[in-house]
Amino acid sequence: MDKEKTELPTQDCAPFLRWAGSKRRLLPVLQNFWTAKHKRYVEPFAGSACLFFAIKPPRAVLGDLNPELIATYIEVKYRISAVLDELKKLKPESKREYKRLRSVDITTLTPPARAARFIYLNRYCFNGIYRTNLQGQFNVPYSGDRCGSVPKDEAFRKCSSRLRRARLVNGDFEKVLKQAKRGDLVYMDPPYAVRARRIFREYDPSTFTHKDITRLRGWMEKLNSEKIDFVVSYAESDEADFLREGFAHEVMAVRRHIAGFASHRALTNELLISNI
């Protein structure tokens, strides 16, 4: 029977970023995969890293294809006070400020200012989407006060403390998975490459393709053969059927906003696939 998760769980260290496709609603289930036998947490599609922040692993490897995301995590990890100082310079919930920051040439900014820009745009953009144009410029429209405010300083400092336990890697998911070893828990939440419907959760400029699904399946088999524990979350689809063949799985019904509006909600099914 499908299980439904609707309410966002309370976290003592919630992620400071919003992210399209975040699995925060599945945390009560996902957290159970982390056990005392695991020594390190590995996540090659980090996004908002909500599971990492929730389970408090002693060591971790967090990777992502998005260079701005990883650069922001690095600044929050090592220079949180400078990032907070830069955030305080920005006018909250301002469409004019949002558009100004969106048009800024990021090469003219210091690393902490660049991270503050990323955090601000992420907070006030539509639906936590990361999208760029062909020139690599962030072009998601402003969403405004429906997104809530930028987290408090204390929340950022908690995240900074947890990130000090993590090695941060910018690159393809294989670059991270090559570092996995027995005793790790590997959590993979890839962007969706679903033919049946349009799902806008991909990282620019590189799209997660069906060839990548095949590569991911190959890595699942490799991790399993090396007795490395893994969990994959994926939208119910033909691609998910391909990924789950031969592995344990369960279907979770998650209530999501459709088109980003609270008045349009629907249950969508997520598969959790594991070799545990």
Tell me the pLDDT of the chain (276 aa) as tens digits: 344 444 455 578 999 999 988 888 899 999 999 999 999 999 999 999 999 999 999 999 999 999 999 999 999 999 999 999 999 999 988 999 999 999 999 999 999 999 999 999 999 999 888 888 877 889 999 997 677 889 999 999 999 999 999 999 999 999 999 999 999 999 999 988 755 444 444 444 457 888 999 999 999 999 999 999 999 999 999 999 999 999 999 999 876 554 444 544 567 899 999 999
Rounded Cα distance, 189 and 60, in Å: 16
Q: Tell me: the pLDDT tens digits for 149-176?
A: 899 999 999 999 999 999 999 999 999 9
pLDDT at position 230 = 98
pLDDT at position 3 = 47
Alpha carbon distance, N-terminus to C-terminus of the chain: 20
**CATH code at 134?**
3.40.50.150
Rounded Cα distance, 1 and 139, in Å: 41
Reference 127, options 102, 104, 144, 115; nearest CA is: 144
Strand partners of residue 222: none
Beta strands 261-274 and 166-170 are: unpaired
Reference 243, options 265, 212, 264, 267; nearest CA is: 212
- The number of domains in the chain is 1
Domain coverage including residue 239: 3-274
**Which pTM was predicted?**
0.89
